[in-house]
């Protein structure tokens, strides 16, 4: 009987460990809701989400986060527009066309890209990209939405490549063989048969890229100029993530609470993206 009690105890310990992830998600969700709601209630949901001015430290403070939301959306869309075609084509090349040695070398390069810390991207962006944009487009300051888009595009590239490769390699060999037997060239087969067959996985790759781009803070903070303007390609802008990060250290009162509300909005975006990602991954698994 003593042994039985001991086994139950061990079971309890492992059950507890298993439940930790659930506990963490609950903790994060509850904390964000509890600390994020008061400011929204005080400012008013419409004014908070649709207000076009953010002047948190002014004598008559305004807390409209529409500029941040739009910047995050535009920035992510731009990064996707640049990063997805490059990542997708690289993935098709690596999964189907590349000779084994080239594939090994390029895959290693992609995983190096994935491992580089975001502050290093930020630093290089600050010293190469920002001055580059200033001289190339003759704007007073290169720290802009465009700089952030380019940095984000590079940062999401590895996720897109890796997830797409996995999807493309999972396409049954028979599909491709059938297409080849019907007289299609290998290249036509990859793009007309393999890619459509792997579309769920590739969609998942894009959604994952969206999640990465919208959640990135440090690299973007270093290249985007960080002024709460409405988004425009060559203007200094502030994202949802950088809005939280840049004022947190000196904020207080309603301003601080409003920052928590921004984090709550960001969290809702992320939950939405995660849901979409799961949908595509599940569908990919079923196909």
Partner 1 sequence: MEERISTKRRVRIALLWVLMGLAAATTCALVLFLAVYVMAKGVPEITWTLLSTRPSYLTGNIGILPDILNTVYIIIAALVLVIPLGAGAAVYLTEYAKNRKLAAVIEYAAETLSGIPSIIYGLVGMLFFCSFLDMQTSLLAGALTLVIMNLPTVMRTTQESLKTVPQSYRDGAFGLGAGKWRVIRTVVLPGCVDGIVTGCILSVGRILGESAALLFTAGFAHTVHGFFEGLSNSGATLTVALYFYAKEEGEFGVAFAIAAILMILTLVIQLAAMLAGRYFKRRRGR
Q: Shortest approach of partner 1 to residue 41 CB, angstroms? A: 18
Q: Shortest approach of partner 1 to residue 3 CB, angstroms? A: 6
Phi-psi region of 48 (alpha: psi -120 to 50; beta: other; left: phi over 0): alpha
Of 236 and 241, nearer to partner 1 (C-beta) is 241
Q: Shortest approach of partner 1 to residue 213 CB, angstroms? A: 10
Q: Shortest approach of partner 1 to residue 253 CB, angstroms? A: 15
Given a contact cutoff of 8 angstroms between Cβ atoms, the answer to whether 282 and 55 are in contact is no
Distance CA 27, CA 101 (A): 47
Of 123 and 139, nearer to partner 1 (C-beta) is 123
Q: Shortest approach of partner 1 to residue 57 CB, angstroms? A: 19
**The Cα angle at residue 265 between residues 282 and 222, in degrees rounded to 5:** 100
Q: Shortest approach of partner 1 to residue 153 CB, angstroms? A: 10
Instruction: Transcribe 181-233 into DSSP letters.
Output: HTT--HHHHIIIIIHHHTHHHHHHHHHHHHHHHHH--HHHHHHSB---PPP-T
Of 145 and 277, nearer to partner 1 (C-beta) is 277
Of 21 and 135, nearer to partner 1 (C-beta) is 21
Of 188 and 287, nearer to partner 1 (C-beta) is 188
Neighbours of 18 (CB within 10 A): 9
Q: Shortest approach of partner 1 to residue 151 CB, angstroms? A: 11
Q: Which residues contact 70 (CB under 8 A, 6 or more apart)?
A: 230, 231
What are the backbone angles phi and psi of residue 226, rounded to the nearest 5°? 70, 30
Of 60 and 215, nearer to partner 1 (C-beta) is 215
| 284: its two tokens | 């990919």
Of 43 and 263, nearer to partner 1 (C-beta) is 263
Given a contact cutoff of 8 angstroms between Cβ atoms, the answer to whether 223 and 148 are in contact is yes
Among the residues of the chain, which ranges form H helices? 2-43, 45-50, 66-92, 100-115, 118-124, 130-137, 145-169, 173-181, 186-189, 195-197, 199-215, 218-223, 240-248, 253-286
């Amino acid at each position: 009987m003593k042994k039985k009690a001991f086994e139950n105890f061990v079971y309890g310990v492992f059950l507890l460990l298993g439940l930790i992830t659930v506990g963490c998600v609950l903790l994060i969700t509850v904390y964000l809701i509890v600390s994020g709601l008061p400011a929204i209630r005080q400012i008013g949901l419409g004014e908070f989400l649709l207000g076009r001015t953010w002047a948190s430290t002014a004598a008559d403070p305004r807390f409209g986060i529409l500029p941040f939301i739009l910047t995050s959306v535009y920035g992510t869309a731009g990064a996707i527009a640049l990063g997805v075609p490059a990542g997708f084509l690289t993935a098709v090349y690596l999964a189907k066309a590349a000779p084994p040695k080239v594939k090994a070398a390029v895959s290693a390069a992609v995983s190096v890209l994935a491992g580089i810390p975001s502050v290093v991207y930020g630093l290089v962006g600050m010293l190469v990209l920002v001055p580059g944009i200033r001289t190339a487009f003759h704007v007073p300051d290169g720290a802009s939405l465009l700089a952030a888009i380019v940095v984000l595009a590079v940062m999401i590239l590895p996720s897109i490549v890796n997830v797409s490769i996995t999807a493309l390699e999972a396409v049954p060999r028979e599909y491709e063989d059938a297409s080849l037997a019907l007289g299609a060239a290998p290249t036509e087969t990859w793009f007309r048969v393999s890619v459509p067959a792997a579309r769920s996985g590739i969609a998942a790759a894009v959604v994952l890229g969206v999640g990465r781009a919208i959640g990135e803070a440090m690299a973007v903070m270093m290249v985007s100029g960080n002024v709460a303007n409405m988004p425009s390609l060559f203007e200094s802008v502030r994202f949802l993530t950088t809005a939280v990060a840049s004022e947190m250290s000196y904020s207080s009162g309603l301003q601080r609470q409003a920052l928590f509300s921004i984090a709550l909005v960001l969290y809702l975006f992320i939950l939405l993206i995660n849901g979409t990602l799961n949908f595509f991954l599940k569908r990919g698994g079923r196909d």
